[in-house]
């Protein structure tokens, strides 16, 4: 699988990234999580995306234990983690209301906890998970700048930032932000028109596209857009070696000129292989627009 440097000062990541948000959904053992990482490596996915909050603050610890099972595995992968979302749960009864916190103090504390749980002394990429409406950008930037200068994080980026939030935080950074990880898929194509992907192109940073299959909703037979997509995919499949809707949905994201890196979330090994094969698809212009048309249920303006 191709590897891409995501910005001038950013890390080199695999063209597709494996996301661990749902990894505990099937109650896997640590050995099974370790196997999943090896399955990712087998198809060329070396970048693992996680976050402090995943699995209600439990995923990082399981992931760290799984990585530790194979000596040398840590050096074969790039780890992306995120901080800044705090929700009440059994392990954190002290929080009464879900809130964001991207202050310097919180980012430093969260990152240190993530490193400890992941069993590593650095991560390749650290993201502010969501913009914190109650913190000045200088404060967030101070946190990221401090972590960069201590080499606890090799690069810093954001997730779910609007273009103005990205620009504001970037203006306080010692090194430019290296990505914006955003929701981008056939059922959520706003980043094409709201300036988010244009900004990435202008800043020469590659976006990361979360939930590339809309979290599975593109297969929901009760969703009219999904049904239209299924019909459109059937019509064009033969032109792409019988590609499935799943593969065409990845190809649709991959084809955008801002070069997004899909962050995939399956818990099934065969779907990792299916995803990797989508990299071979080069969608024809009219088919790309036909998928847009199917998802929206009307022609382009
Ligand atoms: N930055 C953020 O705010 C943010 C937010 C959300 C997610 N993320 C990241 O993005 C990653 C991916 O998110 P996601 O899990 O929503 O991605 P996704 O790949 O769009 O969705 C994965 C879901 O779709 C199902 N699925 C896949 N192929 C299918 C098929 N052919 N038929 C039916 N169902 C199918 C999977 O089930 P199976 O397991 O059975 O395949 C799984 O439940 C996360 O793990 C996380 O790392 C980031």
Residue 209 lies in a domain: no
For residue 104, what pLDDT is reported?
A: 98
Model pLDDT for residues 139-195, shown as the tens digit of each residue: 999 999 999 999 999 999 999 999 999 999 999 999 999 999 999 999 999 999 999
Closest residue (by CA) to atom 24 of ligand 1? 216
Tokens 């593109």, residue? 218
Alpha helices by DSSP H, 190-284: 190-193, 196-203, 224-237, 245-254, 269-277
For residue 96, what pLDDT is reported?
A: 95
Distance CA 80, CA 98 (A): 23
CA of 64 to the centre of ligand 1 (A): 21
Residue 168 lies in a domain: yes
| Pair 46, 78: CB distance under 8 Å | yes
Distance CA 10, CA 182 (A): 17
Count of structural domains, the chain: 1
Q: Residues of the chain whose pLDDT is less than 70?
A: none
Helix/strand/coil for 267: coil
The per-residue pLDDT of the chain, averaged, comes to 98
For residue 6, what pLDDT is reported?
A: 98
Closest residue (by CA) to atom 41 of ligand 1? 266
Q: Residues with beta carbon inside 6 Å of ligand 1?
A: 19-22, 49, 129, 159-160, 181, 210-216, 219, 246, 263-268, 271
DSSP tag of 11: P
**This prediction's pTM:** 0.98
Residue 284 lies in a domain: no
219-226: which pairs have CB atoms within 8 A and are 24 or more residues apart?
219/245, 219/246, 223/187, 224/297, 225/186, 225/187, 225/294, 225/295, 225/296, 225/297, 226/187
Catalytic (active-site) positions: 54
Distance CA 116, CA 295 (A): 43
Helix/strand/coil for 125: strand
- Tell me whether strands 12-14 and 3-5 are parallel, antiparallel or unpaired: antiparallel
Residue 11 lies in a domain: yes
Model pLDDT for residues 288-300, shown as the tens digit of each residue: 999 999 999 999 9
CA of 174 to the centre of ligand 1 (A): 34
Tokens of 21: 């948000």
Residue 210 lies in a domain: no
Q: Strand pairing partners for 229?
A: none
- Compute the chain's Rg from CA coordinates: 19
* Exposure class string for 195-221: b at 16+ Cβ within 10 A, else e: ebbebbeebebbbbbbbbbbeebbeee
Alpha helices by DSSP H, the chain: 30-43, 54-57, 59-68, 104-118, 137-149, 163-170, 190-193, 196-203, 224-237, 245-254, 269-277, 285-296
| Residue 68 lies in domain | 3-178
Q: Pick from 86, 78, 7: which is nearest to 37 by CA? A: 78
Residue 199 lies in a domain: no
CA of 215 to the centre of ligand 1 (A): 4
- Which domain CATH number covers 105? 3.20.20.100
For residue 215, what pLDDT is reported?
A: 98
Mutate-to-test residue for ligand 1 from 50, 162, 215, highest number of ligand atoms within 8 A of CB: 215
Q: Using CB atoms within 10 A of its CB, is residue 151 exposed (0-12), middle (13-18) or buried (19+)?
A: exposed
Distance CA 123, CA 114 (A): 9
For residue 120, what pLDDT is reported?
A: 98
Residue 277 lies in a domain: no
For residue 89, what pLDDT is reported?
A: 95
Distance CA 203, CA 124 (A): 20
For residue 222, what pLDDT is reported?
A: 97
For residue 152, what pLDDT is reported?
A: 97
């Amino acid at each position: 699988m191709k590897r891409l440097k995501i910005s001038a000062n950013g890390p080199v990541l695999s063209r597709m990234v494996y996301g661990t948000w749902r990894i505990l959904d099937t109650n896997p053992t640590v050995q099974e999580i370790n196997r999943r990482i090896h399955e990712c490596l087998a198809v060329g996915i070396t970048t693992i995306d996680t976050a402090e909050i995943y699995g209600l603050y439990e995923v990082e610890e399981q992931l760290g234990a799984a990585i530790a099972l194979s000596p040398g595995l840590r050096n074969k992968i790039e780890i992306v983690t995120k901080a800044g979302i705090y929700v009440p749960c059994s392990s954190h009864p002290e929080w009464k209301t879900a809130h964001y916190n991207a202050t310097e103090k919180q980012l430093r504390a969260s990152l240190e906890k993530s490193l400890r749980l992941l069993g590593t002394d650095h991560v390749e990429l650290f993201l502010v998970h969501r913009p914190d409406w109650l913190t000045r950008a200088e404060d967030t930037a101070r946190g990221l700048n401090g972590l960069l200068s201590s080499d606890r994080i090799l690069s810093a980026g954001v997730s779910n930032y609007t273009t103005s939030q990205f620009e504001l935080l970037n203006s306080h950074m010692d090194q430019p932000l290296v990505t914006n990880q955003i929701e981008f898929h056939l059922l959520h194509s706003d980043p094409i028109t709201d300036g988010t992907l244009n900004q990435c192109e202008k800043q020469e940073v590659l976006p990361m596209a979360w939930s590339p299959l809309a979290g599975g909703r593109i297969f929901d037979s009760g969703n009219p857009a999904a049904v239209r997509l299924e019909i459109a995919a059937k019509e064009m499949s033969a032109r792409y070696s019988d590609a499935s809707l799943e593969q065409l949905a990845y190809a649709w994201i991959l084809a955008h000129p801002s070069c997004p890196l899909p962050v995939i979330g399956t818990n099934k090994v065969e779907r990792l292989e299916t995803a990797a094969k989508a990299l071979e698809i080069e969608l024809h212009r009219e088919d790309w627009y036909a998928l847009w048309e199917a998802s929206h249920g009307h022609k382009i303006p």
